[in-house]
Amino acid sequence: MDFRVEVGNKEAGTIPYESLPAFTYLFRELGFDVQPDTENHKVHLSSALHGKRIILSSDQDIKHNTFRKNLLERKVLEYIQTFLSACGVKVILMDEKKESERADFHVYLSLFEIPVIKEPILELIHNSKSSNKKLLDIFHYECTKTGTKFKSNEVVRGTNNPFINIQIMYPVIADEDFWEKFGEKYAMSITIGILARFQESSPLSVLSLVPIEFFSNMFVHSENTGLNLEPVMQKEKRLPGKKRFLLKKPTSIKRNEAEVFLDYHIFIEELEERNKIKLIGNLHIKNIGTEILRNPVICLRSTPSESIKISGQILPPNVAETLGVMKNEETKGWRYMNDEWFEEMEKGETWICPIQSKNINPRQTESLTNLQISVLQPVDNSNIRVEAFVFFKEQNLEISSSNQISLLLTKKQ
């Protein structure tokens, strides 16, 4: 039984039910909120920032200024909103302050084009509850990369709500060149700084902020996952011949693999002349690979061959074919593989195959049940052994059983 994995309102794939505890523990360590729903056979993941409320707004405390670039300022805020929303945050873009009391974080931004400066300056103003070392380090690093001078100041305000106030000043540049040279970089830098502020204490939880496709190798994907792999910011119509950049579907490793094992019970009947020994058991074939295994052929090898008889719910070839014709339907079960099966058994090998074509799906177990092994001539101080082998001709696969039947008969003193 598989469980569907949902991220937000999108289906990402499935996982085996037996992996659910380990899956839950792993993704909680990665910062996800994990909610298994056993009744509906699904598990829901939410990012570490799911449910957080962040408000983005222009700094209204600054009065009208001829150097202020309101339209570009708004564009930077819109891009920050897009980046944060993709991480599961509820982002409110607004001009008023009335929502700030109910927010987990508030970001104020002001943007100025200053004729007298030669290099851009970013000044970060914050209160004691809004910043941490990681946030300040991130802003300093990002500003260094963009050639921006960084200033940081802590202030005391009459509010307990965490906030940052960002003022960016840059040299004169054409508006159409601003975004490529500065705007996109500042939007990304501010977003990274905000993420660092929420993630410092749990560094691994940052993995919960990346698209779920990052973990795609962990899931079995259905054709319709509902995931949009196109860039979030791309809104223009696709032109003929334009390349599409989609995530490459992960390459799955195909494995033909199986596990074979025996379980059995020993029955000893005490008689006057000698003890009668009989074993009843089952042979199990479990598909532990990723591909369907078809038409298993079983070989039971016994030693010493002259003192062992193997029987059970196994039909001779001619009887199996007759039953199949008489019933006019699929005949399930097992038969001896060759017409000379009795002679083969006397030589110590018993070959068995399905009456009809048999497929073993991944994680499925097929069993040859009610095997009866009789010891015909018990000999003192002899070692009786039965081994099992399974062959899949189509997959060129041979597996020996992980255990064997072994009896050591000793002489009474």
In whole angstroms, what is the distance from residue 53 CA to residue 103 CA?
5
CB count, 10 Å around CB of 370?
A: 12
* E strand spans, 143-246: 149-154, 163-170
Interacting residues of 181 by C-beta distance below 8 A, sequence separation 6+: 173
Q: What is the DSSP string of 217-238?
A: GGSBPPS------S-TT--SPP
Q: How far apart are CA 379 and CA 384, in angstroms?
A: 9
Handedness of CA 268, 270, 271, 274 (dihedral sign): positive
Domain 53-199 sits in CATH 3.40.630.40: yes
- Tell me, rounded to whole angstroms, the distance of Cα 37 from its chain centroid: 17
Residues 6+ apart with CB under 8 A from 224: 11
Query: 349-354 and 297-303 as β-strands: parallel, antiparallel, unpaired?
Result: antiparallel
> What are the residue ranges in the chain where pLDDT is below 70?
1, 8-9, 61-65, 95-101, 129-132, 156-160, 200-252, 272-274, 321-331, 377-381, 411-413
| H helical segments located in 303-356 | 317-327, 341-346
Nearest residue to 3 via CA among 26, 35, 48: 35
pLDDT given for residue 297 in this prediction: 94
In angstroms, the Cα distances linking 206 to 194, 196, 308 are 12, 9, 64
Structure tokens at 165: 């106030």
Q: Which residue has the tokens 């062959």?
A: 391
CB 41 within 8 A of CB 94: no
> Phi and psi (nearest 5°) for 84?
-70, -35
Q: Helix and strand tally (H, E) in the chain?
A: 7, 23
Closest to 74 in 3D by CA, of 98, 52, 58, 51: 58
Residue 302: closest CA among 351, 355, 370: 351
Domain boundaries, the chain: 2-46, 53-199, 258-409
Q: How many CB atoms lie within 10 A of CB 88?
A: 20
- The pLDDT of residue 245: 41
- pLDDT score recorded for residue 292: 92
The pLDDT mean for the chain works out to 78
pLDDT for residue 204: 60
Q: Is the dihedral of CA 153, 191, 201, 101 positive or negative?
A: positive
Pairing, β 163-170 against β 90-93:
unpaired
Beta bridge partners of 149: 121
The structure tokens listed for 377 are 């001539």
**φ, ψ dihedrals at 365, nearest 5°:** -115, 130
On whether the CB atoms of residues 126 and 173 are closer than 8 A, the answer is no
* Paired strand residues for 105: 54
End-to-end CA distance of the chain: 56
Give the model confidence (pLDDT) of 81-96 as tens digits.
888 888 778 888 876 5
CA distance 186 to 142: 8
Q: Please, is 412 exposed, middle or buried when counting C-beta atoms within 10 Å of its C-beta (0-12, 13-18, 19+)? A: exposed
One fold for both 53-199 and 258-409?
no
Residues, the chain: 413
What integer pLDDT is reported at residue 326 of this predicted model?
47
The Cα 97–Cα 51 span in angstroms is: 20
The per-residue pLDDT for 207 is 65
Q: Which fold has domain 258-409?
A: Immunoglobulin-like (2.60.40)
Residue 49 CA from chain centroid, whole number: 21
Helix, strand, coil % (nearest 5) of the chain? 25, 35, 40
pLDDT attached to residue 356: 87
